[in-house]
Amino acid sequence: MTRTSLNHFHCSMARTADIIGDKWSLLILRDVFLGSKTFSQFQKNLGVARNILSDRLDKLVRNEILERRRTRPGVERYSYHFTDRGSELVPVLIAMMQWGDRWIFGEGKEPLELNDQKTGRPIQLIKVLSADGKPLANDEMSASPGSGADSSILTSFHGKRSKVSD
């Protein structure tokens, strides 16, 4: 990838992956999510090369995921923040973290705990809901035993499948 852009795919996944589907972008977003704001914070936390960091931040700003603000007038001091668009990416980040918590770090591995800032309530679950807002039995998402017969998660869909390869 990267060599070829995914823009020609009429697929939200592909387009989204094209924007945030690289590791540094993902890690930068995670870092923003966890409170980092400045170039040097990112650089220090992630250990990424400065030019790469610069490039990624630029891309995220151009794609309106992050917004760059001057912290003090006159001085070269900036901070990065989620835009609306960007903050709605948080569920993606949380979903990834939760998966990792569960499947990479095991039971006793003290996963990252997140609290909602306003209510103080812990955030622990991300769920796929049906249109009416009722939770879809989560079992259905992961019910099929790995070696089961015909694992059928969510296979039916409507939309342009035909143009997948173009």
Partner DNA sequence: CAGTATCCTCGCAGATACTG
Partner DNA sequence: CAGTATCTGCGAGGATACTG
Residues 55-84 that bind DNA (CB under 7 A): 57-58, 68, 71, 76-79
* Three-class DSSP category at 2: coil
Q: Residue 65: in which H helix or E strand, if any?
A: none
Q: Does 62 bind a second copy (CB under 8 A)?
A: no
Using CA atoms, how far residue 143 sits from 104, 114, 127, 138, in Å, is: 19, 27, 15, 8
Selected from 40, 87, 115, 151, the binder of DNA by CB under 7 A is: 40
118 binds, among a second copy, DNA, none (CB under 5 to 8 A by kind): a second copy
d(CA 44, CA 1): 27
Q: Does 72 bind a second copy (CB under 8 A)?
A: no
- Residue 91-120 contact track with a second copy, rule CB under 8 A, x = bound: xxxxxxxxxxxxxxx----xxxxxxxxxxx
Number of CB atoms found within 10 A of residue 60's CB: 25
Q: Does 58 bind a second copy (CB under 8 A)?
A: no
161 binds, among DNA, a second copy, none (CB under 5 to 8 A by kind): a second copy
Q: Are 25 and 58 in contact (CB under 8 A)?
A: no
